[in-house]
Structure 1
Amino acid sequence: MRVLIVGAGGIGGYFGGRLVEKGEDVTFLVRQNRKQQLDETGLVIESVHGNMEFKPKTIVSGEPAEPFDVILLSTKAYHLQGAIEGMKPYVTENTMILPLLNGIAHVDELRAVFGDESVIGGLCFIETTLDEKGTVVQTSPIHDLVFGEFSGEQTERIKKLESTFQGTKASFRLSENIEQDMWHKYQFIATLSGVTSIFRAPIGPIRDQEYGVETIQTLLEEVGNVMRSVEAPLAEGIEASQMDKIMQMGYNMKSSLQRDMEKGLKTEAEHFFGYLLQIAKVKQLRTPVIGTIYANLEVYEAR
């Protein structure tokens, strides 16, 4: 299959690189400055699972290219519209679009532009970033990408995609219930991002405080209540499972949203929390913790 990776950042660069390492036909859609950097230095990956370096195939939006079978989209939510415009020339009626963004709101945006059938479900679990030299640095044992049809069906196209993804050094897993997986991750990442951003601390010191633990639990429940109000397919008892996971995380674990704040960058406040608050307003639900987190991020971004 012909694979297009939108961007060559920490996530797209890593998973795309592992596919190149296996021998798959991968092209990276990048901005001009990143293309120039990759032309000069190649794509360098430093990973606990093994380093690699190669000269990637790259295109800038508008350059001619043959049709692609699948497009992996791993941008931040605030870059989504630009990414959509950039990838439009390379999407055909047979192209699968596999977004790896956190949250849910992007699915409707992609469907509105490309149609329901073009968009499949996806998410990833990985700690990775770009350093100042443009090197992809991947630091944890977990490097999982999960994908699947929203219907749960084992279609011919999804089985072909599974075959393409198999045999790499990364973990690519086909899910039979990708929609539930995405909502579960959304609940988890909204909670982790929310508490670490408002306390300006890693998860460990927050857990050390009685009211820190209480805030984590309350936020988990608020987020779950909002999601269930729109019939999100959350598993029974998911809050307890999510809480156990948060309590077992490394003491110094930070969310990517918190790291963005520390760097003075834009955050995904609207995508994570604004979306939940819109639902809560329509459903007339009380969400004081979500509201406080959102206000905190809005004040930060207004500086």
Structure 2
Amino acid sequence: MNHSIKKVSIIGLGALGVMYAEHLSQKINFEDLRIIADQNRIDSYKEEGVYCNGEKCHFNYVAPDAVVEPADLLIVAVKYNQLQEAIQAVKHHLGENTIILSVLNGIESERDIAKVYGEKHNLYCVAQGMTASKVGNQMTYKNKGMLCFGELDENKNSEKVERLKKFFDEVEMPYEINNQMAIKLWSKLMINVGVNQTVAYFGGTNKIIQKESPEREMMIAAMKEVQIVAEKEGIIIEDKEIDYWLEIMGSLNPDGMPSMAQDVEAKRYSEVELFAGTIVRLGKKHSLSVPVNTEFNRYFNELEAGY
């Protein structure tokens, strides 16, 4: 039986949440796109507005306790430290055939969601290639990038993948299908662990890791720690993945900053738990030494304890 995607719910209006919500709001009916938020947030969104590239967004906000028809697609776009709260807040939006797409970084969020709602709703996803930043209620982006999604370890498209593909074609959402998402997720974690944390640690911009330097060495060392931990978890990240990311790094705006550096500058809690925290935990589990991520973990946790 074909359950086509009509109703979409999104939780989290950070840079990605706003970008995808704004895109979908142009393509589907107003009432078919629901932004889930608590009443305080809804009030402030309505009062202050939410802006995307300078244009005011018109969204349909619903509180977590509102009785609604289940979503065909639920996009989770909160920060990791809000994930547990978000998992509870979306419960009225879950139906038998709801597909859940988490656009969070790292490898933990889908596991956390599956613990509560089961594995059957998850499709795995990496948001890549976007250049977006959000300051206050203003989100700006130059490039929407794409959503790379699929199953963890399959050879062909599952029924869920086909359903999402059909919908993304209809709404002209840029995407790529990859049914070996386990490697993809670890590879994206590796780049975040390297670039995000290194640039934030040194309080610089992208240019400090684009040329041979002690900072770049530290970044590569942090990435190699992800590689050795991943192997113990049964995921082989080849050296060419590191080379691929170094090439991408080279093409970034030298004066730009990854999200974690933006967080540190704004004294917001960062995703250190998702990056270094994950590698330190798995290092302990497999009795591996991960000195660079141990240092990142120490530094950012101490820094944020002072906020």
Whether the TM-score (by the shorter chain) exceeds 0.5 is yes
Which residue identity does 1:148 align to in structure 2? Answer: G
2:22 corresponds to 1:17: yes
For 1:232 and 1:151, how far apart are their aligned partners in 2? 11
Moved more, 147-156 or 264-273: 147-156
Q: Counterpart in 2 of 1:33?
A: 40
- TM-superposition CA deviations, 1:91-127 (whole Å, max 9, x none): 1232111101000012211111111111110121223
- TM-superposition CA deviations, 1:1-46 (whole Å, max 9, x none): 2110112332112112212212253111123233224445665321
Instruction: Tell me how large the CA RMSD over aligned residues is.
Output: 2.1
Which residue identity does 2:132 align to in structure 1? Answer: T
Name the SS of the counterpart of 1:242 in structure 2. helix
Equivalence map 1:89-128=2 (5 Å): 89-125=92-128, 126-128=130-132
Q: Counterpart in 1 of 2:248?
A: 245
Q: Counterpart in 2 of 1:302?
A: 305
Name the SS of the counterpart of 1:120 in structure 2. strand
For 1:131 and 1:210, how far apart are their aligned partners in 2? 30
Moved more, 5-14 or 187-196: 5-14
Equivalence map 1:218-237=2 (5 Å): 218-235=221-238, 237=240
TM norm structure 1: 0.90
For 1:54 and 1:205, how far apart are their aligned partners in 2? 36
Name the SS of the counterpart of 2:90 in structure 1. helix
Q: Counterpart in 2 of 1:131?
A: 135
Q: Counterpart in 1 of 2:152?
A: 150
Aligned mate of 2:295, from 276, 288, 292: 292
Give unmatched runs, 5+ long, in structure 1. Answer: none
For 1:26 and 1:73, how far apart are their aligned partners in 2? 13
- TM-superposition CA deviations, 1:38-82 (whole Å, max 9, x none): 445665321xxxx75452211011011011111000111101011
2:279 corresponds to 1:276: yes
TM norm structure 2: 0.89
Aligned mate of 2:217, from 208, 214, 218: 214
Query: Are the structure 2 counterparts of residues 91 and 137 from structure 1 closer, same or farther at C-alpha, using a change threshold of 3 Å?
Result: same
Query: Are the structure 2 counterparts of residues 42 and 205 from structure 1 closer, same or farther at C-alpha, using a change threshold of 3 Å?
Result: closer
Name the SS of the counterpart of 2:74 in structure 1. strand
For 2:68 and 2:199, how far apart are their aligned partners in 1? 42
2:207 corresponds to 1:204: yes
- TM-superposition CA deviations, 1:158-201 (whole Å, max 9, x none): 21211111254642222232222211111111101121122111
Q: Is the 8 A contact 1:224 1:239 kept in 2?
A: no
Q: Is the 8 A contact 2:13 2:78 kept in 1?
A: no
Which residue identity does 1:9 align to in structure 2? Answer: G
% identical equivalent positions: 21
2:146 corresponds to 1:141: no
For 2:162 and 2:192, how far apart are their aligned partners in 1? 29
